[in-house]
Amino acid sequence: MAEQNIAGGVTAAGPAYDPQKIEEKWQKRWAEARVFETEADPSKPKYYVLEMLPYPSGTMHMGHMRNYAIGDVVARVKRMRGFNVLHPMGWDAFGLPAENAAIKNNTHPREWTNKNIAEFQRVLRRFGFSYDWRREISTCEPEYYRWNQWFFLRMLERGLAYRKKSRVNWCPKCCTVLANEQVINGGYCWRHEDTLVESREIEQWFLKTTAYAEQLLDDLKELEGGWPERVILMQRNWIGKSQGAKVKFAVADLAGAEPIEVFTTRIDTIYGATAVILAPGHPLLPKLLKDSPARGEAEAKLGKMLQTSVKTEDLATMEKEGFFTGRYAVNPFSGEKIPIWVGNFVLMEYGTGAIMAVPAHDQRDLGFCRKYALPVRVVVQPKEVESPKAVEGAFTEYGVSVNSGPYSSMESETAIAKMAAFAEQKGFGRAETVFRLKDWGISRQRYWGTPIPVVYCEKDGIVPIPDSELPVVLPDKVKLTGEGGSPLAATPEFVNTTCPKCGGPARRETDTMDTFVDSSWYFYRYCDPRNEKRPYDSTKIVYWFQIDQYIGGITHAILHLLYSRFWCKVMRDLGLITHNEPIARLFTQGMVQKGGVAMSKSRGNVVGAEEMAQKYGADTGRLYTLFAAPPEKDLEWSEESIEGSWRFLNRVYRLVERHAPAIKGVKGGNGDAAASPKEKLLLRKAHQTLRRVTQDFETRWHFNSAIALVMEMTNEIYLQEPLEKEVRPEVRKEVLELLTLMLAPMTPHLAEELWEMLGYSGGLWKASWPAFDEALTREDEVEIPVQVNGRLRGKVKVAVGANADEVEKLARADAAIAPHLAGKAVVKRIFVPDKLLNLVVA
């Protein structure tokens, strides 16, 4: 059986490394001693390290495990360094899969979820991660989600939550609305990659993320250095700030028509505008077309366009199409009449849904105007060149205005400022900034989520539930069919209620909240997880926040992190906290793959974490995920390679086991001046290793090379065996003790066991990270590579600190090097003390 513990087969004399036994033993002791339970303590420096909370689904695989292994190393190192470490864990427990599974298996989402939570928890405990389990939270519990509702009400009061009718992405399989970012591959559902998303219009709840667009952008500066550059960049692009101007074009010859407002980043090119182009869904269109001479044809084309534009699938490759409305607009600067067109490439959702086409200075406009034979007029010239004769591509850079009335011969920057000012003065426009970022649609027509706490009263309209009546509890008894919208809407006991204001009959909101709401602030709740009066006590936040280190997948680079940042700013403006950003440092770890693709249930390539723990033990599993690749890179799972980690831990175990009886009674130390060469060598190796491992843990997070160093040290000790005669017990102890301490953050159970074998009864969890002894790391002698003209020709052994002359003398005497110098004059000598000698000969 493949799941068998491979140590189980070892029947040789003497105790062998038995991870099952050791790991259980120490997990029990840690729990008894409450080692990982933390309280705020202003007398100690704090460290808040957090891994993104998991969605508990199915089995936990090595991909999950890696994330927690990385976080646990950090937590344990920081603890050994004297920090008061907060390291909590919880469950992102609401969400669609629970509901889908419930429908399929005829169970309740709560049951399914709790079963998975129990399973996930068991595996996490099996791996010995150092969480403070008392702080565990589950977002599907009323104790938690009531605060989602509380925050929602605060946002409602401040106008940050509102309802609007909006065109939404609708997945016919999920029967729910998808966020834009849940639409993937140009129009497919992120959960059903083969299902095309439809477009529907529905009344929905939104949170006004756009109110914080500017801050969300600006505060990214605070994250520089602490967050990966690419995540900052992705967020910046997502927010998509664009500075420009809005300008109104009056509609000619149509009494009562509102002017058409366009957005442009290049108001300086307005004299070159040869058309105004509207998005197919532009609200003014019906009025424009009503008595238009081109009505018949135009309406037919529009109808077709609206139909096809629903398919967002091939937006990128779609041919630019357009038609003339039969109407004209008046350029407010030149007074010129230009045709109003409709174009399928103009987006209603961005800017004003209308643009001015300046074909000479915009590549896309140029393509459109050429296709429909609209005129092209140059109004900006490059500063240096006289006059470009034929326009091949559009000239999109800044230059000097021409043919632009009073603005001619102005530089583009100047013209932009002056023209925007003029437009504002005359009242037909102004400088304006638009964002790509949209408000956050949080309505979900689903059961398994936080109920939105409002009622609809015939008399009073939308009425918020008073705080005192929170939580609005999700009813247990509902019919889940997976069809026809929200299950809550079909549950009369939930829907029918009374209005908190007038006491009359009212209908409850049946939408539930997006689960990103749950994860937007959960890390605050960890600081005060059982508070029944408030989401959290602000004084506790002051101690623990910001999060010093957040660890998770790059997949959440935009949404989860952006929403969390938004929530933080809202809470700050509510006066609950004082910081601007919740997360000081972010680390995005790579995925664990098998067969070149990420582990996932649907691909059937998962390696179960529990299975690995049974076969090799938790420590081997942890070590391997840390060793096989640097943490930020993807890791290809290899069943053969993990054997190497298993062998290594056995090697260490046997080493300590062999020496423990002789050294457990003595005190570890460096020995005295009369150290034997072997002692010197071992101490040097141990302290050199410690120096570099300390560096790898603290500054570089290169766990893989740290492990390699510890392996090297272990190999060195083996090579020096037998140690009994030439290495005194105290030195043996010193070396093995350091080895144990260095492994402790990565393989904590084994390290505890070794620590005990070495004669310590207190528990390694109380031990501090050791300091290396600089004097012991020094070499007496070094081998210096000697190059001639930059090519390696030999090596010489010299005392540390030898000067260039001494090294050169030895090099000239070296049989391998001398021939390359014979009869040649050294014209230049490069000498790096203890590192290198390079002789340049003519």
Partner RNA sequence: GCCCGGGUGGCGGAAUGGCAGACGCUGAGGACUUAAAAUCCUCCGAGGAUUUUUCCUCAUGUGGGUUCGACUCCCACCCCGGGCACCA
In angstroms, give the least distance from the CB of 78 to RNA: 22
Q: Which of 229, 458, 724, 779 binds RNA (CB under 7 A)?
A: 229
Residue of 284, 307, 302, 304 lying closest to 199 (CA atoms): 307
Candidates 73-81, 219-227, 754-762, 825-833; binding stretch for RNA (CB under 7 A): 825-833
Beta strand 549-553 pairing with 46-51: parallel
Instruction: Find all residues with CB under 8 Å of 59, minimum gap 6, and list them.
Output: 119, 123, 601, 606, 608, 609, 610
In angstroms, give the least distance from the CB of 631 to RNA: 9
- Number of Cβ within 10 Å of residue 450's Cβ equals 28
What does the H/E/C string look like for 365-388? HHHHHHHCCCCCCCCEECCCCCCC
In angstroms, give the least distance from the CB of 534 to RNA: 36
Give 171-191 as a DSSP string. ETTTTEEE-GGGEETTTEESS
The answer to the question of residue 121 lying near RNA (CB under 7 A) is no
Q: Alpha-carbon distance 185 to 389, whole Å? A: 42
Beta strand 380-381 pairing with 354-357: unpaired
In angstroms, give the least distance from the CB of 246 to RNA: 10
Beta strand 161-171 pairing with 198-207: antiparallel
Residues 431-460 that bind RNA (CB under 7 A): 436
Residues 484-513 that bind RNA (CB under 7 A): none
Q: Alpha-carbon distance 679 to 720, whole Å? A: 10
Q: Alpha-carbon distance 213 to 422, whole Å? A: 27
Residues 690-709 that bind RNA (CB under 7 A): 702, 704-705, 707-708
The answer to the question of residue 531 lying near RNA (CB under 7 A) is no
Specify the DSSP class assigned to residue 411.
B
The answer to the question of residue 739 lying near RNA (CB under 7 A) is no
Residues 10-39 that bind RNA (CB under 7 A): 10, 12
Instruction: Find all residues with CB under 8 Å of 559, minimum gap 6, and list them.
Output: 179, 181, 516
In angstroms, give the least distance from the CB of 788 to RNA: 9
Rounded to the nearest 5 percent, the helix, strand and coil shares of the chain are 40, 20, 40
Residue of 837, 831, 842 lying closest to 817 (CA atoms): 837
- If the CB atoms of residues 771 and 830 are measured against RNA, the closer one turns out to be 830
Beta strand 275-278 pairing with 337-343: parallel
Residues 176-215 that bind RNA (CB under 7 A): 181
Q: Which of 92, 362, 439, 752 binds RNA (CB under 7 A)?
A: 362
In angstroms, give the least distance from the CB of 626 to RNA: 11
Residues 242-271 that bind RNA (CB under 7 A): 242, 244, 263-266
The answer to the question of residue 539 lying near RNA (CB under 7 A) is no
Candidates 192-200, 614-622, 672-680, 830-838; binding stretch for RNA (CB under 7 A): 830-838
Beta bridge pairs of residue 242: 434
Candidates 225-233, 461-469, 535-543, 742-750; binding stretch for RNA (CB under 7 A): 225-233
The answer to the question of residue 342 lying near RNA (CB under 7 A) is no
Residues 558-577 that bind RNA (CB under 7 A): 558
What are the Cα distances from residue 719, in Å, to 161, 196, 713, 731?
69, 63, 10, 16
The answer to the question of residue 811 lying near RNA (CB under 7 A) is no
The answer to the question of residue 775 lying near RNA (CB under 7 A) is no
Q: Which of 202, 347, 421, 804 binds RNA (CB under 7 A)?
A: 347
Q: Which of 408, 718, 800, 818 binds RNA (CB under 7 A)?
A: 718
Q: Which of 58, 97, 142, 240 binds RNA (CB under 7 A)?
A: 240
In angstroms, give the least distance from the CB of 804 to RNA: 13
- If the CB atoms of residues 129 and 263 are measured against RNA, the closer one turns out to be 263
Residues 647-686 that bind RNA (CB under 7 A): 647-648, 650-651, 654
In angstroms, give the least distance from the CB of 736 to RNA: 15
In angstroms, give the least distance from the CB of 257 to RNA: 20
- If the CB atoms of residues 295 and 651 are measured against RNA, the closer one turns out to be 651
The answer to the question of residue 826 lying near RNA (CB under 7 A) is no
The answer to the question of residue 787 lying near RNA (CB under 7 A) is yes
In angstroms, give the least distance from the CB of 16 to RNA: 8
Q: Which of 467, 781, 783, 805 binds RNA (CB under 7 A)?
A: 783
In angstroms, give the least distance from the CB of 428 to RNA: 17
- If the CB atoms of residues 776 and 796 are measured against RNA, the closer one turns out to be 796
Q: Which of 712, 724, 781, 805 binds RNA (CB under 7 A)?
A: 712
- If the CB atoms of residues 103 and 234 are measured against RNA, the closer one turns out to be 234
**Site for RNA (CB under 7 A): how many residues?**
86
Give burial (CB, 10 Å; 0-12/13-18/19+) of 514: buried
- Block residue for tokens 């090799």: 616
What does the H/E/C string look like for 602-665? HHCCCCEHHHHHHHCCHHHHHHHHHHCCCCCCCEECCHHHHHHHHHHHHHHHHHHHHHHHHHCC
What x/- string results for residues 129 through 148 when contact with RNA is judged by CB under 7 A? --------------------
CB 275 within 8 A of CB 331: no
The answer to the question of residue 90 lying near RNA (CB under 7 A) is no
- If the CB atoms of residues 439 and 528 are measured against RNA, the closer one turns out to be 439
In angstroms, give the least distance from the CB of 99 to RNA: 25
Q: Which of 150, 162, 190, 350 binds RNA (CB under 7 A)?
A: 350
In angstroms, give the least distance from the CB of 151 to RNA: 26
Q: Alpha-carbon distance 358 to 375, whole Å? A: 9
Bond prior to 722 in cis (omega within 30° of 0) = yes
- If the CB atoms of residues 188 and 648 are measured against RNA, the closer one turns out to be 648
Residues 612-651 that bind RNA (CB under 7 A): 627-630, 633-636, 638, 640-641, 643-645, 647-648, 650-651
Residue of 524, 616, 413, 440 lying closest to 147 (CA atoms): 524
CB 336 within 8 A of CB 250: no
CB 442 within 8 A of CB 206: yes
Residues 276-335 that bind RNA (CB under 7 A): 279, 315-316, 318-320
In angstroms, give the least distance from the CB of 542 to RNA: 35
Structure tokens at 410: 């102005």
Consecutive H or E run containing 592: strand 592-594
